A and B are shown apart, each in its own frame.
Chain A
């Protein structure tokens, strides 16, 4: 079914609204911003062509699921835990602290994939644990506990990397 004008406008608005978090989510899965960008555009192009977004009850969660499927399909024949691309930033850091941005990216990259997914989905995607549970086909309790566990690991990892820098200053 070709998209109507209203549907196309809605899809474009969703892209503007959720695009950054979706891109981050795809980048956290692939490790490469360019592949993440491709997956994201693939999802939205398909939505534009098929125009079936109206069927989704929770559009934000549906978009995250689409991006996840696109990335998983694309990485089927690749190594799952891809190396992080050191040149492509994922975040716009506060006070233009690009060292902190790289530190966060590395800490995220060091997390196991299932924890990294949940951190990104909850922290920047602002999905509830219930939505994450539906998306990843796990229980809400598992999603919440994985998130807390991942957050602690992230904290330790980032502090450990910040301390040598602080000492060297």
Chain B
């Protein structure tokens, strides 16, 4: 409150009240900090989910080669670039790697009611 004993001009000036600033509240600060906290929480949740998902997945142990680091290709295993490279890298020698990739000699069994095209063609005599 202005003191009446002040200089009258001072008293006059004190009648002018400074305008109040725009509202500033704790909620406003919470809003300002909110997105940062939410981002951190979502990152933490994503990391936890990723760890849980990784733990839940069945983990296959890499196949243990039976014959000195070289595994034989099974009948059902196709010879593609990835496994071939892996075998070449793991094999003690190039020959061993090639041996391990030997194709099955046994042809696939043909059903009794069907005939093998290769067998039929081999019966034909080609006249030159």
Contacts and interface: CB of A to CB of B under 8 A. Distances in A.
A124 B15 CA distance: 10
B120 interface: no
Interface in A38-63: 40-41, 44-45, 48-49
Contact of B21 (A22, A94, A151): A22
Contacts of B20: 19-20, 23
A105 B15 CA distance: 14
B16 A40 contact: no
B26 A48 contact: yes
A44 B32 CA distance: 13
B13 interface: yes
Contacts, number: 68
A15 B24 contact: yes
Given A12-B26, A155-B9, A104 B21 contact: no
Interface string A129-151: 00000000000000000000001
Give the interface size class of chain B.
10 to 19
Contact of A19 (B21, B26, B32): B21
B7 interface: yes
A9 interface: yes
Interface stretch (A72-80, A84-92, A109-117): A84-92
Interface string A92-129: 11100000110010000000000000000001100000
A23 B26 contact: no
Nearest to B32: A45
Interface in B1-54: 7, 9-10, 13-22, 24-26, 29, 32-33
8 A-B pairs closest in CB distance: A24-B18, A20-B18, A91-B16, A94-B15, A23-B21, A92-B17, A48-B29, A19-B21
Interface of A: 8-9, 12, 15, 19-24, 37, 40-41, 44-45, 48-49, 89-94, 100-101, 104, 123-124, 151, 154-155
Interface of B: 7, 9-10, 13-22, 24-26, 29, 32-33
